[in-house]
């Protein structure tokens, strides 16, 4: 393979880089863009300073359009926004998803408690991928597929690879985004199980600042 020309900046060296091993997965083609690495963050500063292909923006609060709008405006790459599915569900999730699409989101993410009927409603109303989070092999995988889900977001801690294999046994063609853990070994395990893309949780800004301040003190 020919060497890829690269350009950088002395002011942007301190960015959040995803593990290079993620590039070995197949990726998920969304509207002509092949997405292999997703960064799991709602931190605008991190979102603007990462080499990940896309952003998965899910947070543990009631989804709010103002938050989605701010993240979409700040992002310089595709963003997949959380639209509830648990406490926030039904018509409200549907409206949040429509708003996210109109604002420029590339996809919407639903959490585990989402009823299959809501997935079907979303597929009938929006024209961007619907992602559902899976945390256990006992989740209703067949029902999700029948409802029309586009991408499974597998987050099963040390059971992630087993869940991926379970999904692929049911439907080998379904797209899977999976958490890769903290090491190349766990990322490779997820990819070997069938993950098409990997999500990476970056260090917090506090952790990044700690590294910088320690370097300053040494200097």
Q: How far is CA 159 from CA 53, 86, 146, 190, in A?
A: 25, 22, 24, 10
Q: What is the pLDDT of residues 63-116, one digit of tens each?
A: 999 999 999 999 999 999 999 887 777 889 999 999 999 999 999 999 988 999
Q: What is the pLDDT of residues 138-163, one digit of tens each?
A: 999 999 999 999 999 999 999 999 99
Among the listed ranges 46-60, 115-129, 162-176, 199-213, which one has the minimum average pLDDT value?
A: 199-213
Q: What is the spatial distance between Cα 90 and Cα 103, in angstroms, rounded to a whole number?
A: 20
Tell whether the model's pLDDT for residue 199 goes beyond 80. Answer: yes
What lies within 8 Å, CB to CB, of 106 at 6+ separation is 30, 31, 54, 78, 79, 80, 128, 129
Residue 72: both structure tokens together: 């979409």
Q: What pTM, to 2 d.p., does this model score? A: 0.90
pLDDT of amino acid 33: 96
> Residue range 202-206: average pLDDT?
83
pLDDT of amino acid 218: 79
Tell whether the model's pLDDT for residue 30 goes beyond 60. Answer: yes
Tell whether the model's pLDDT for residue 1 goes beyond 60. Answer: no
pLDDT of amino acid 38: 98
Domain 20-218: which CATH number of 3.40.630.10, 3.40.50.300, 3.20.20.60, 3.30.390.50: 3.20.20.60
Band (pLDDT 50/70/90 cuts) for residue 11 is: low
């Amino acid at each position: 393979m020919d060497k890829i020309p690269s350009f950088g900046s002395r002011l942007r060296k301190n960015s959040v880089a995803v593990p290079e091993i993620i590039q070995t997965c197949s990726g998920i083609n969304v509207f002509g863009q092949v997405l292999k690495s997703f960064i799991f963050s709602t931190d605008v500063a991190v979102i603007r300073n990462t080499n990940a292909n896309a952003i998965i923006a899910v947070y543990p609060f009631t989804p709010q359009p103002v938050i989605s709008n701010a993240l979409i405006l700040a992002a310089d790459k595709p963003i997949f926004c959380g639209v509830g599915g648990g406490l926030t569900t039904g018509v409200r999730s549907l409206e949040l998803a429509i708003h996210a699409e109109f604002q420029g989101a590339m996809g919407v993410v639903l959490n585990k408690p989402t009823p299959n009927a809501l997935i079907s409603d979303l597929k009938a109303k929006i024209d961007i991928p619907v992602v559902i989070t899976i945390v256990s092999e006992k989740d209703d995988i067949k029902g999700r597929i029948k409802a029309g889900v586009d991408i499974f977001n597998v987050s099963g801690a040390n059971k992630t690879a087993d869940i991926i294999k379970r999904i692929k046994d049911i439907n080998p063609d379904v797209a899977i985004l999976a958490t890769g853990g903290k090491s190349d070994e766990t990322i490779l395990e997820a990819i070997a199980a069938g993950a098409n893309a990997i999500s990476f949780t970056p260090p917090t800004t506090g952790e990044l600042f700690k590294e910088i301040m320690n370097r300053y003190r040494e200097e």
